[in-house]
Structure 1
Amino acid sequence: MDKRLASPSRRLFLQTSAAVGGGLLLSFNLPAAGRAAEAAAPSRLNAFVRIARDGTVTIAAKRAEIGQGMKTTLPMLIAEELDVDWAQVRIEQAPVDNAVYGDQWAGGSMSTPQEWEPTRRVGAVARALLIAAAAQRWGLPAAGLVTEPGVVIDPAGKRRLAYGELVEAAAKLPVPDPQALTLKDPARYRIIGKAHPQSDNPAIVTGQPLYGLDVRLPGMLYATFLKAPVFGARVDRVDLAPALAVKGVRAAFVVEGGTALDGLLPGVAVVADSWWTARKGRQALEVVWTDHPASGQSSVAMAARAAELARQAPQRVMRQEGNVETALAGAAKVVEAAYHYPFLAHATLEPQNCTAAWKDGKVEIWAPAQDPEEGRGLVARTLGVAPGDVTIHLTRSGGGFGRRLMNDYMVEAAWIARQAGAPTQLIWSREDDTRHDFYRPAGWHNLTAGLDAQGALVAWRSHAVSFGEGDKFVRAAEVDASQFPARAVANHLQTVSTLPLAVPTGWLRAPGNNAFGWVFQSFIDELAHASGQDPVAFRRRLLGEPRALGKPGGWDNLDTGRMRGVLDRAAEMAGWGRAVAKGTGLGIAAHFSHLGYVAVVIEASVGDDGTPVVHKAWAAVDVGRQILNPSGAEQQVQGSVLDAIGSTLRQKITLENGAVVEG
């Protein structure tokens, strides 16, 4: 299991809960939050919870909101254990402070499993403090008191105290041990498991400022940053005069930068009164870039080298069970297939942007970031300041998908703002965003499988070609050797070869699995076809009896029973086996990723021009016992299906002469 999934320590709980009276930086509020501001000054029960005398509860959302709904979902956990009416809850984005809030990054689909218990305990601590305050006022044992939404009730049910009446006294009481508190029985949940719209929806649909692009500061300037088409190439020479001649351009300068692709790279910055003016100044530049070794990279050359490696002995073995070669030699039928997937860009709707202000050796940043603490460290190292001198405010992200786990745009903005001597908002153009992404790595998989006379899978061999050197993969290019049908077939061999890469790579939504699922499920379809079996029946047979393929609690612990459950449900919803129109077909896939099980049926056809057309999709998803917010869960599934269709049929990134072709 990923170490970041482990339960937070008791020390973290106590750190969090002990922050009574600590400052809470206000970010963006829903318009309705004005009612709370009009009430008497609220008291803080801990860093997460503030209650006003009128009963309004303000809860801090600790993690970045990138469209996955965490700004709403995590406060739901607190509100449930606090026992309040959801209609009385207002949500604010918490300041970036890992010492108080713990991990605040959003990535790897881990926010819910990480926060499921500790965040509920934050709410339980706040409720316990309110009960203790009521017990103190009434002179009764706290153990006999109960709560209903927003009130504490005595054992006889005759006396009631609203939270707003108790909060000031509660905030002064000793903090109980969070681990000693009993959490609510799921049968009594009022908030968890119920559909709730995202807290930002009213602001989004009425155009209120929420996103990084919405930040406005007094005296703020705007910047563009031109980098070399070949990743990491330096500025050889440039005449800045044409840019400076554009009316409204305040400054233009060369940034020397470094060589780390995930840091501050060389380039030319143009700072102006408006972004459009900065863009015009940038367009006036003619930059000559130095030669760079990466200029020899191309998609064509990579594919040719991958084909050579596929014909050679693999460089290393990732996983081996049984004797694949003997099983293949004795198989009734051997099936081979090769698959390739391209580099992909994240293509977030909101391009990369960041606003920074430099003053007296300190920098303040407003950014749509997925990993703000890493960004703080990067800025501090690059600008030569202490991490404590870097303040970061999280804005809502117009899409993340893993792209904003990297903080290159943050350090660029900080550097430019210091040089410009004024608060500066850096905005990347769409072309910048496409040509300077951290791409989902391309890959090649060469698969061979053996079937016995009854059509059962008896051997599976995979030789993957990915990127890296020696025994190290480049970022996000790891080959997962636990992918199904590993452990479900007696004779299994996963090998890999790598080729070097000087292209920035990173994690894309469902890292690795967004490619592996397509490869392995496509090959399983080929095996079903070769054996003359229905694709659903073949998968059922391969899954076998319900059992765990891995260690309990492990990140790769696939339960074949749960996988069979989503497979059967998706097939049932789609009417698998029914007659369809001529030229139309049904396809199915089932995959395990990030502790979740998903099966999807697609009804599609191929047009006269050879273009695939998707008519309908059915998805069955099992991500565990508690769906915290069904509304958000449905949005995630629908968005994932659309994302997958787009990635499969329309998207790719191509390299020529070391640069990205697409803009």
Structure 2
Amino acid sequence: MAEVEDQQRRDFLRQSSMLSGGLVLGSFWTLGAHAEQSIAKPQAATAEVGFKPNAFIQIADNGKVTLVSKQPEIGQGIKTSLPMVIAEELEVNWKDVVIVQADLNPMYGDQFAGGSLSTPMNYNEFLKLGATARTMLVQAAAATWNVPVTECYAEKSVVFHKPSKRQLSYASLVNKAASLSVPEASSVVLKKPSEYKLLGTRIGGVDNGAVVSGKPLFGIDVKLPGMLYAVYEKCPAFGGKVVSANLEAIKALPGIKDAFILEGTSNLNGLMPGVAIIAESTWSALSARKQLKVQWDEGSVVNESWDDFAAKAEGFSKQPGTVSLRKDGDVNVAIANAAKVVEAKYVYPFISHASIEPQNCTAWFKPEQGTLELWAPTQNPAAGQNIVNSVLKIPKEKITLHMTRSGGGFGRRLSADYIIEAAAIAQKVNAPVKLTWSREDDMRHDHYRAGGFHFLRGAVDKNGKLSAWHNHFVTFANRITRDGKSILQPGSGASLSGDEFPGRWVENCLLEQTPMECGIPMGPWRAPGSNVFAWVFHSFIDELAYAANRDPLEFRLEILGDKDMMQGTGERGQAYNVARMRNVLKEVAAKSGWGKRKFPKGQGQGIAFHFSHRGYIAEVAEVTVSKDGQVKVDRVVVVTDIGSQIVNLSGAENQVQGSVIDGISTLMFPELDFQRGRTVQSNFDQYPLLRMPDSPTKIDVHFLKSNYPVTGLGEPAFPPLAPAVCNAIFAATGKRVRQLPLSRNDLRWS
């Protein structure tokens, strides 16, 4: 999932509560780059009716262990893996664990799913939470037996006394433990990783049974007594406004309760103007929508089209970039003295998130209390609360937001436009109301992954070494007002960093960028930036390797060099550890048998790597290209280094395999065309995704453990796939892929 931008850091209250018949531990964060973390002290018990636990661990006196999952579950498996971290140190039987999804609540710290941050943001603290609870249970048992704590240990929800072999279950100890003071964090001893029994094993997702049996888990499943159903029609051109609509005719249709216009805001990421239809059923609402007639003021964006953008990009490429990102040495001199020079243009389109569950939100506004209750499949619930507060002026403390499971997110649900739409509609409806987007809404009103144009020059010297690298990136930007000034803001993932590989590794390097103004809404898309930059960089590096008559693996290793750690930073300010990247690159070569087989024409291997979202990933793809140009990915080998511990082996493999399949799908098929300020495509008949026959025959996944902090895996395995496959296509056919999607390329050979 996607990077969370401008995430506001806050201090959260120290809170914990003790429930009758059980032990509850809370936690406190000040989340920053190097935040101090501590275990909260228990406060007085509360007997308020409707009390909601504000803690992560509850052990009942019947032995049931309830763990709170605070992050949104969007298919990345975090609802299973993070509670596993607590359960490991807590020393409980996994079969005794019940996991509940948290609502948005400041006591849980930051609650979002983006940037592959859920695991690294919580891992160490959750170990401490589990270990602290275990320590208190052991102390309770030692006090009960009047023996030294050092003679006791916990295992599988039982505390044992070593000398006497006596034992007490957690169920029998919770009340005693609840009376104890929480020990200082420094006195809590964590288990050694070699002692782990749960972490690193294969655990099925806690919702798997409910998902496959069709039980209601998702936002689109929410049902409330007396609930009404809404659809919302927005201008097909981005930023357009309603002039008039046949509201009275719509209100007279069967099953329709109301229809009205929302004026909206001018912010592309805010409440867009539109027409709401309220009905007794989704079917009635959708049926009425077909008869809706709206006169639109389409605004100035109707003058924008992809063809015009492409023509402008060509013009910009002949001029210096408007933003200088990096300038080392002298590229022009290095190119003039080079043994080989390669020039290329790489182009990729806008694409949609296309999550299987369309955007939806259920909202219930109660005017007498001034409260709003929301049920939403969101990656960023705080963004929903903030936009409702900002636009509708409802105080945050009067907004309750329940996080449902999401049917895919990929960064789209970091935005909250569908939440503010539902909330604004609910303010005018005296009942709970569920807003459901159609597939056409989802595709026409997405916050898209930005397209881009890279104009590249590269050179190798007489020794076959990379001697020059020049990238002029023409990107897309929205015009916004900041601090009273009108500026161009590139879309999420649509801005190049001066530290991106291979910038700092090349003696003569020029990186420049030209933002191109557009009215198309853009947002984070799985592995923002990296999802396209990896394809551009590692495809062009492959071109230069072949120009130098070098092995692509050897060429890459030479660029990386032999220093253990490069100075400076890599992606999004994160330190780039060259030794870790060399290790995964060498390991993927070994696991794939790189260079050990001779492929016939029409078959080939390609290699690529990328540092993304703290993960070091290298991939080798093997492909077959038929003479008529049809591509089949036969095998993908992936080696990852995401730190010292794999939390859930089953979930981790699932994430890597899913990244590979999603990467192939994104490489092969999807693209959006824009004409007259609107999308041309509106559904999957015009926007194909990967089908089972096109998926790889085999995906081999390997994890390298290293002595570094545990990181996430939802995004880093995605970026290297496209260049690995495209480099394999070149090895098989001699044809370079410089435009996405793959379907745009003629790959026939003879």
Question: What TM-score, normalized by structure 1, do the two folds share?
Answer: 0.92
1:162 Cα deviation (Å)?
0.9
Q: 1:245 to 1:19 in 2, by over 3 A?
A: farther
Tell me the residue number matched to 1:631.
Answer: 650
**Matched residues in 1 for 2:600 and 2:665: separation?**
24
Map 1:154-303; keep pairs closer than 5 Å.
154-303=161-310
Tell me the residue number matched to 2:384.
Answer: 375
SS in 1 for 2:206: coil
Q: 1:68 to 1:287 in 2, by over 3 A?
A: same
CA contact (8 A) 1:224 1:269 kept: yes
**Matched letter for residue 342 of structure 1:** P
- After superposition, give the CA deviation of every residue in 1:476-534 in whole Å (9 maximum; x if it has no partner): 32212222112222222211111112111111111110010000001011001111112
1:543 aligned to 2:563? no
CA contact (8 A) 2:606 2:622 kept: yes
Tell me the residue number matched to 1:9.
Answer: 36
SS in 1 for 2:431: coil
1:105 Cα deviation (Å)?
0.7
1:87 aligned to 2:95? yes
Tell me the residue number matched to 1:341.
Answer: 348
**Matched letter for residue 249 of structure 2:** P
Tell me the residue number matched to 2:575.
Answer: 557
**Matched letter for residue 379 of structure 1:** V
Identity value in percent:
44
Tell me the residue number matched to 1:123.
Answer: 130
1:551 Cα deviation (Å)?
4.8
From 84, 89, 92, give the equivalent of 1:76. Answer: 84
Tell me the residue number matched to 1:474.
Answer: 491
**Matched residues in 2 for 1:551 and 1:134: separation?**
51
From 487, 494, 502, give the equivalent of 2:504. Answer: 487
Tell me the residue number matched to 2:593.
Answer: 575
1:23 Cα deviation (Å)?
8.6
**Matched residues in 2 for 1:344 and 1:26: separation?**
44
1:185 Cα deviation (Å)?
1.0
- After superposition, give the CA deviation of every residue in 1:228-265 in whole Å (9 maximum; x if it has no partner): 01122110111113322321111111111111111111
**Matched residues in 1 for 2:57 and 2:123: separation?**
17
Tell me the residue number matched to 2:441.
Answer: 432
**Matched residues in 2 for 1:657 and 1:178: separation?**
60
**Matched residues in 2 for 1:23 and 1:625: separation?**
43
Tell me the residue number matched to 1:442.
Answer: 451
From 449, 458, 461, give the equivalent of 2:467. Answer: 458
SS in 2 for 1:624: coil
CA contact (8 A) 1:5 1:114 kept: no
1:595 aligned to 2:604? no
SS in 1 for 2:505: coil
1:179 Cα deviation (Å)?
4.4
**Greater Cα offset, 507-516 or 87-96:** 87-96
Q: 1:514 to 1:25 in 2, by over 3 A?
A: farther
Superposition RMSD in Å: 2.3
**Matched letter for residue 575 of structure 2:** N
1:616 aligned to 2:635? yes
**Matched residues in 2 for 1:472 and 1:357: separation?**
35
- After superposition, give the CA deviation of every residue in 1:75-121 in whole Å (9 maximum; x if it has no partner): 011101111111211111012102x1111111001111111111111
Q: 1:22 to 1:57 in 2, by over 3 A?
A: farther
Q: 1:545 to 1:23 in 2, by over 3 A?
A: farther
**Matched residues in 2 for 1:191 and 1:273: separation?**
48
Tell me the residue number matched to 2:716.
Answer: none
- After superposition, give the CA deviation of every residue in 1:422-457 in whole Å (9 maximum; x if it has no partner): 111111001100111111111111111121111100
**Matched residues in 1 for 2:551 and 2:679: separation?**
42
Tell me the residue number matched to 2:105.
Answer: 97
Tell me the residue number matched to 1:497.
Answer: 514
**Matched letter for residue 48 of structure 1:** F
SS in 1 for 2:180: coil
Question: What TM-score, normalized by structure 2, do the two folds share?
Answer: 0.82
CA contact (8 A) 1:252 1:270 kept: yes
**Matched residues in 1 for 2:583 and 2:415: separation?**
37
Q: 1:591 to 1:143 in 2, by over 3 A?
A: same
- After superposition, give the CA deviation of every residue in 1:152-198 in whole Å (9 maximum; x if it has no partner): 22352432211111112222332233344222111111111111111
1:291 Cα deviation (Å)?
3.3
**Greater Cα offset, 461-470 or 312-321:** 461-470
1:6 Cα deviation (Å)?
2.6
Tell me the residue number matched to 1:63.
Answer: 71
- After superposition, give the CA deviation of every residue in 1:372-399 in whole Å (9 maximum; x if it has no partner): 0121111122222100110011100000
**Matched residues in 2 for 1:339 and 1:22: separation?**
63
**Matched residues in 1 for 2:46 and 2:357: separation?**
36
**Matched letter for residue 356 of structure 1:** A
Q: 1:304 to 1:529 in 2, by over 3 A?
A: same
1:320 aligned to 2:347? no
- After superposition, give the CA deviation of every residue in 1:244-287 in whole Å (9 maximum; x if it has no partner): 23211111111111111111110001111111110011111111
**Matched letter for residue 125 of structure 2:** P
**Matched residues in 2 for 1:396 and 1:487: separation?**
41
